[in-house]
Amino acid sequence: MATKSITSNEGKLDSASAVLEISATNPEYNQPALHIKQASEKGGAASIRIDDPNPDIEFVETDQIAPAGKYEIAVQSDKLQINGRNASNTSFETIAVVQRLAEGGNIGIRTSDQFGRGKGVIAIANATVAPSVSPAGGGILYVQDGALKYKGSNGTVTTIAPA
């Protein structure tokens, strides 16, 4: 049982409403609005735990124009997802997904279910736009028309695996 508890049974709330709001209202200081300190030396306790049918944490950068700066970390159907707001600002799109081991242990980039029934695989969706500029001091790994490609800093594109 919790040492302190806040319970609300207010009924239907607008989506912008919350049971508890913490506000840091002094714009002159850049400090956390919430700071959690855990004294345990065992390391097994969660500092934050969310029990919810569709748990997520949403990040909204308030000094940006919508939909810029809107992301969420969500759990859905045994998948941990990092999502970003879509261009029309109507929903979130999956950027990256990780499945728990019992469900396949897969990792997806810009995909949430293209694992081909594999387990322990990495899936990468086709690039919507292939890189047109060479990266400085590194390389870019991407998929184009199902083929895995690498573009190095000298501009050479190598097809690692054809489609």
| Tally: H helices and E strands in the chain | 0, 9
Rounding to the nearest 10 degrees, give the CA dihedral for residues 78, 80, 73, 37: 100
Structure tokens at 99: 């499945």
State the alpha helices, DSSP H only, in the chain: none
Task: Check residue 53 and report its DSSP letter.
Answer: S
Average pLDDT over every residue of 93-109: 94
Q: Is the pLDDT of residue 18 over 80?
A: no
Q: Which residue has the tokens 């899936």?
A: 123
- What SS3 state is found at 107? strand
* pLDDT tens-digit map of 46-96: 888 898 988 999 998 888 776 677 899 999 888 999 999 888 888 889 999
Q: Is the pLDDT of residue 113 over 80?
A: no
Residue 43: what residue type?
A: G
> What global pTM score does this model have?
0.78
Residue 35: what residue type?
A: H
**What whole-number distance in Å separates Cα of residue 77 and Cα of residue 53?**
10
Q: Which of 61, 100, 68 is nearest to 84 (CA)?
A: 68
Confidence band for 132, pLDDT divided at 50, 70 and 90: very high
Task: Assess contact for 97 and 108: CB atoms under 8 A.
Answer: yes
Task: Assess contact for 107 and 119: CB atoms under 8 A.
Answer: no
**What whole-number distance in Å separates Cα of residue 32 and Cα of residue 26?**
11
Q: Where are the domains of the chain?
A: 51-124, 126-163
